[in-house]
Amino acid sequence: SYPKSQNIAIVDNIGGDVKFRSQAVKPQRELAPGECLVKMVCSGACHTDLHAVDGDWPIPPKMPLVGGHEGVGHIVAIGENTFNSPVKVGDRVGIKWLANSCLNCEDCRKGREQNCSKAALSGYTVDGTFQEYVLSWVYHVTPIPDKLSSHEAAPILCAGVTTYRAIKNSETEAGDFIVLPGAGGGLGHLAVQYARVRGLRVIAIDTGKEKRDLCLSLGAEKFIDFKTSKDIVAEVIAATDGKGAHSAVVTSSSSTGYTQALSYLRAGGTLMVVGLPPDATIPASVFFTVFRSQKILGSYVGNRQDAAEALDIAARGQVKVHHKVVPLNSLKNVYDGFKAGTIAGRIVLDISG
């Protein structure tokens, strides 16, 4: 059993302030087959949550909106007549960006659940994890390995899964060079580590002493400060035996992170498009894309298998989330931190102890 009402963090309209109020929780008897209710312990805050509040992407979010898509909690109820549930009441599970999908269309069958036309997106098209009780779906919640604390697991559910998949698909091998613009942020600092797990040589790009120290401590072999560097392309080329990098995974939330990427990749190199700055384009020369055999690949979060793999690597201690824990009611300060670019690693919001 669980209470009839709960505390939520909600935004009423695009660009609006975060408000905290109480709202009814869906009663057990009203849960549809396949639905479950998860009592949140904590949730990471992703830059995407700020894009949603600002409404700066081409596809608008629902409003009013409870944001959040990196949550961990315990299942407190499952809809009656749920067929073959992979989880049970009491299980600790994660809620990621992809809250639900049909599992039967061509995209789902091919493992690209993210592209399902019926996908439900946490904290975007359905209410997300910045609340005490989240309505979710048993076939899509992510079991959390016992060895990981909830606070360490939460950011893996978006930042971890996304960078794990992007690096896995970056067409690189051990010993190759990978450039990571945005390396000091939430996605980026996990990208540094997932890249190291694969034996890649990391060139981190971001700004400021805190992010520099973080990236170098996580195993980047070079850090380039995008605010003070006079020539980012030349610095990357010099750091990569004069030939350029094999891949770049851009997790910068500003379009400038993409500007030089194709110029510092070597022939045959792969640009992984991950960061989602508003109104951004990737200007690529047709001639040089062909002449240098370069690839540009969009990479969108990850499927259930990517989530299991990314969590397993973290549970074995090979990737650690650098995080600060604050209460849910500091969400507005977190958004200010994203705007100012002052968050190194991730912030995890405590929802209930």
Q: Which residues bind ligand 8ID (CB under 6 A)?
A: 46-48, 51, 158-159, 162, 181-182, 184-188, 205-207, 211, 226, 251-254, 256-257, 274-277, 299-301, 338, 341, 343
Token pair for 91:
């299980």
CB of 128 to ligand 8ID, least distance (A): 13
- The residue (of 123 and 244) whose beta carbon lies closer to Zn ion is 123
CB of 49 to ligand 8ID, least distance (A): 8
Distance CA 204, CA 197 (A): 15
- The residue (of 2 and 300) whose beta carbon lies closer to ligand 8ID is 300
- The residue (of 36 and 166) whose beta carbon lies closer to ligand 8ID is 166
- The residue (of 87 and 249) whose beta carbon lies closer to ligand 8ID is 249
Torsion of CA 24, 29, 33, 37, to 10 degrees: 40
CA angle in degrees (0–180, nearest 5) for 184-185-186: 135
CB of 8 to Zn ion, least distance (A): 19
Sheet hosting strand 177-181, strand order edge to edge: 222-225, 201-206, 177-181, 245-250, 265-273, 295-298
- The residue (of 87 and 183) whose beta carbon lies closer to ligand 8ID is 183
CB of 271 to Zn ion, least distance (A): 20
Question: Quick one: CA dihedral 259, 261, 263, 267, positive or negative?
Answer: negative
Radius of gyration of the chain, Cα coordinates, nearest whole angstrom? 20
- The residue (of 79 and 181) whose beta carbon lies closer to ligand 8ID is 181
* Contacted by 253, from Zn ion, ligand 8ID, none: CB < 5 to 8 Å by type: ligand 8ID
Distance CA 58, CA 125 (A): 14
DSSP string for residues in 54-91: HT-SSSPPPSSB-----EEEEEEEE-TT-TT-SS-TT-
Distance CA 347, CA 345 (A): 7
- The residue (of 46 and 328) whose beta carbon lies closer to Zn ion is 46
Token pair for 315:
């549970």
* Contacted by 187, from Zn ion, ligand 8ID, none: CB < 5 to 8 Å by type: ligand 8ID
CB of 184 to ligand 8ID, least distance (A): 4
DSSP three-state, residue 20: strand
CB of 88 to Zn ion, least distance (A): 27
CA angle in degrees (0–180, nearest 5) for 73-78-83: 125
> Any residues with CB less than 8 A from the CB of 280 and at least 6 apart, and which?
255, 258
* Residues within the interface to Zn ion (CB under 5 A): 46, 48, 158
CB of 254 to ligand 8ID, least distance (A): 4
Distance CA 127, CA 120 (A): 10
DSSP three-state, residue 266: strand
CB of 112 to ligand 8ID, least distance (A): 12
DSSP letter at 8 equals E
- The residue (of 165 and 266) whose beta carbon lies closer to Zn ion is 165
* Contacted by 226, from ligand 8ID, Zn ion, none: CB < 5 to 8 Å by type: ligand 8ID
